[in-house]
Structure 1
Amino acid sequence: MKKTAMTISYELWGKLYLNITNKCPCACTFCLRQNDDGAYGSDPLWLEHQPDYDEVIENLKTRDLSSYKEIIFCGYGEPTSELDILLKTAEYIRSVCDTPIRLNTNGLANLIHGRKTEQDFKGLIDTVSISLNASDSKAYMAITRPKWTDKDCFAEMLSFAETMKKYVPNVILTVVDVIGEEEIAKSQAVADSIGVTLRVRPLET
C-alpha cells in the first residue's frame, strides 16, 4: 500500500531535493517508485495532493537554502510536468541564494506541453541531467515506457538535450551502470554525437 505525505523537499548527501509533483508520463522499468514509497530512507514521496507554488515556497522557507551544495528538482514525478511551478520556484531560489540548481528530467517536456520549452530554463538552471536510459530508440521505449507509443520519444529526448546546451551551462545524459560495458560505450557515442557529457551512475544513486 502506498504511504502518502507532503514531502515537498528532502535532504540527501548535503543536497536538497525538491519533490514538486508525482505526475510522470513514463513508467521506467527501474524507477524507485515502482517498489517503494521513498528514496534512500526519505519520508514517503507520494504526495497527498499536487502542491501549488505557494505550498512549495512555504516549505522552502523552512530550509536554509544557502547551506546546501546543490538544490535538485527530483522526486517521485517528472518535474517538468509542473513546469510553471518549477520555473517560478527556481526564480525564488535564485532570488534568495547562490546555491547551484539542477533539474533531473526525462527530457520529454516538449511532448508534455506540446511546445518547445528549452528557452524557459535560461538563467534559472545550472545543470540539467537527462535520463538517456538506452542507446537506441527501441531499447529506450522498452525501458522507459512513455505514454506516447506513436512518437519517437528517444529522438525527442535527444533533441531536447542538444537544444538545452544553448540555455543551460551543463547538460548531462545519464545511464545506470547495470546496462553493461557494451551498452555504456554505445551510450557514450550517443552523448558525443550531440556534444554533451555522459554520466554513468550506480543504480542506487
Structure 2
Amino acid sequence: MTTAKDLFTIAMDPGLKHSVGQGDLSLALAGAELIDLIGAGAVAVDGDRIVPGEPAAPDDRLMGEAAEGLTRQAPYERIEDWLWRRGRDLSAAYQAALEEDGELTHKRSGRLSFGPERMEATDTPARRRAADRWEEQEPVLAALASVVGIDGERSGDEPGFDDEPGFDDEAVTTVVAIVHDAVMELEAVRQRRSIENAAFANLWRGP
C-alpha cells in the first residue's frame, strides 16, 4: 500500500488511546501522498513549492488523482496550499477506498450487537505491512503519525516528530514540517471557534 493508506490503517487501530480528528488526518494523508510522489520522482520541492516532473500514472487510484491534480504551471503551488486543497475530505475518500478494497470493516464495540459501530482494519497482508512499518518506526510513517497524535502509546525514549533528527531527503523534511504547521493551524482554528461559541452562549445566557 501507499504511505497514506498505511497511515490511515494505523489511525484505525482500536488500541489507540485517542481518536484522530478527520481534519488532522486529511492533512497528513495529503502530505503522505506528496512524499510518495517525491519518492517516485513525480515531483520535486523547490523551497516551499511543488515542482511537477513527468506526468505519472500510479497504480493506486487515489495516488493517481493526486498526481493528476498537480499544478503544472509556474510559479507552481505552495506545499501548504496543496495540503489544504488536496486534503479536503481526504480521510473520507481513503475510508471509502479501503472499504471497497476489503481493507476496512464495520464492527460494533462492546459485547452488545447493537452497540456503537466503528471502523477497523481487517487482517490482510496490506494491514500487516502497515503494522510492520509502524513497529519498525519507519521514519516517514512515524513522523506523520506523530503529527496527528498517534505516538502517545510509545515509551518516552522512542523518537517522535519533535525529536526526529531529520530525513535523508530534505524535501521530505520540508513536507513533514509543513504538515505539522498546518495541523497546528487547524487546531488553533478549532480553539478560536470554541472560544467564540462559548462567548456567544454566555451572551444569550445573560448574567
- Which structure carries more strand by proportion? 1
- TM-score normalised by the chain length of structure 2: 0.28
Q: Identify the structure with bigger relative contact order (alpha carbons < 8 Å, sequence gap 6+).
A: 2
- Which structure carries more helix by proportion? 2
- TM-score normalised by the chain length of structure 1: 0.28
- Quick check: which has more Rg, 1 or 2? 2
